[in-house]
Amino acid sequence: MLIKVVKKSILDVKADVIVVNLFEGVKKPGGVTGIVDKAFNNVISNYVIKKEKFEGKFGEIYQLPLVSEGKKIFVVGLGKQVDFTYPKIRTLTEKVVKACGKNEKKVVSILHGAGIAGLDAELCAQMIAEGASAGGYAFDKYKSDKKENKVEEFTIAEIDSAKFKKAEKGAEKGCIIARSVSMAKDLINDSSQYIYPETLANFAVENSGVKTTVYNKKQIEKLGLTAFLAVGQGSAHEPRFIHMEYKPAKKAKKKIALVGKGITFDAGGLDLKPPASMLTMRDDMSGAAAVIATMRAISELKPDVEVHAVVAACENMPSGSAYKPGDVIISKIGKSIEIDNTDAEGRVTLADALAYAEELGVDEIIDIATLTGACMVAFGSVVSGILGNNDKKVKEFIAVGDEIGERYWQLPMYEEYGEGLKSKIADMKNTGGRNGGASAAGIFLSKFIKNTPWIHIDIAGTAFVNDMATGVGVKSFVKYIVG
Ligand code: BES
Ligand code: MG
Ligand code: ZN
């Protein structure tokens, strides 16, 4: 989809759909919606509002066909003005694109939020670009019948010079972020038959946009990532360790490392998952996809921050060579782990990946992982879990998420959650049962970070919703790092 901004009146743009808006309860539209209303004989105020009783509730779209003109006006509800936020603009625009029929190829939209609401035109346009792209997203690679009703051109019309300039900038940023989100979705939606450690690593080399080093099994052994290797040893596919790095041209303000869980398929290992739980486990590399896609955006947005991203990619499979319940493995930092359950594999791979990240000497580490069913049970697909060893940073990250519309909820880190991890034969077990599982997993991970501020994000419930990838995490990372 081509997304552009033009310095024109919305009425002068050739389109199949004209998108205007209304705050809840408004009877007489003002601004650009008012101009469109007048241009078409007050049809919005007299017909849509008065006769059809369109109230402007958030997310409602009134589709008004202009038969003689061969096009439609979409009046979208913005909801109550006091409740209006930037992410709502993205949501609305996504809905608009999804609502377009197969002959509605060209859409022109008002710059939602930049009128009466007085929001920043740049961020408004960014949200529109992201929403338009998300609305047009389809994973139809394996369908012989490709989705037909794809909007081809989405134009933002803004006549005010200052707002237009800002909107151009915002839309450009929005397109970069949107491409990254789509990249993450494509990677996650694809089947594990094609996305395994080697191909995931190749993807990162080709698409991360930054320097990417890939370590094979022998090299991983040399790096001493023995816990990670144990998880991958039951698979026909060899593991790969991926290290991406972005260095700014100027002196870096800070150094940050992202760590993404990269289990390309999680069968559970010898503690095999039941069929229903295994079905979607190709999504167990959603953290990896999020950090690879984030690097791509970082490479284009060029912040003054040094950013590393690491992924320990392997498959968790049962086989004669698989790691076994009761095995004791020694992690990179020398701590021993008794394998209580081979299905709690993510934290075992992350133990070494986090230790590797800390050795890079960064100022902070953020990991993102489809880590626990417990987190999904607690929060469903509505919010991701978050915790860490630095309360201030956790809260800061949650606030960034709120701003851009990805929700996080802090999980407790009381030491009691670690009780179950005590082992009779090793320094710790990898699980202490399912109760309180998201916090217990967090406590486990924390043992592999010595003293770097660290945040852990559990996206088990939010990475894959209605059997499709969401690309969760990318937008938060970009906002957190770039602003
Ligand atoms: N990849 C799963 C967690 C998961 C569950 C992700 C549902 C997405 C949706 C993880 O590796 C896992 O299997 N965790 C176990 C841990 C348990 C054995 C302590 C779980 O949550 O059941
Ligand atoms: Mg598992
Ligand atoms: Zn897993």
Residue nearest to ligand 1 atom 3, measured at CA: 372
Residues of the chain with pLDDT under 50: none
Nearest CA among 268, 287, 289 for reference residue 431: 268
- Annotated active-site residue 273? The verdict is yes
- Longest Cα–Cα distance of the chain, Å, equals 81
Ligand 1 atom 17 nearest Cα: 344
> Does the Cβ of 344 fall within 6 Å of ligand 1?
yes
- The alpha carbon of 476 and the centre of ligand 3 are apart by a number of angstroms equal to 22
* pLDDT at 2 (0 to 100): 97
- Pick from 264, 339, 343, 430 the residue to mutate for probing ligand 1's pocket: most ligand atoms within 8 Å of its CB: 343
Protein residue with its CA nearest to atom 9 in ligand 1: 460
Closest CA relative to residue 114, chosen from 154, 37, 167: 167
Catalytic residue among 166, 282, 347, 475: 347
CA distance 314 to 265: 8
Side-chain half-sphere CA neighbours of 114 within 13 A = 28
Predicted local distance difference test score (pLDDT) of residue 67: 85
Q: Distance, CA 369 to ligand 1 centroid (Å)?
A: 10
**Ligand 2: distance of its center to the CA of 278 in Å?**
9
- Residue 173, judged by CB atoms within 10 A of its CB (0-12, 13-18, 19+), counts as buried
Q: Which atom number of ligand 1 is nearest to the Cα of residue 263?
A: 1
> Is the CB of 266 inside a 6 Å radius of any atom of ligand 1?
yes
Q: How far is the CA of 271 from the centre of ligand 1 (A)?
A: 11
Tokens of 262: 């990269």
Burial class (CB in 10 A: 0-12, 13-18, 19+), 338: buried
Q: Is 460 in the pocket of ligand 1 (CB under 6 A)?
A: yes
Domains and CATH numbers, the chain: 2-178 (3.40.220.10), 190-482 (3.40.630.10)
| Active-site entry in 273, 393, 407, 434 | 273
Residue 376 CB less than 6 A away from ligand 1: yes
* Residue bearing tokens 């709502």: 88
CA of 346 from ligand 2 middle (Å) equals 6
Q: Is 90 a catalytic residue?
A: no
pLDDT at residue 148, rounded to an integer: 66
Closest ligand relative to 264 C-alpha: 3
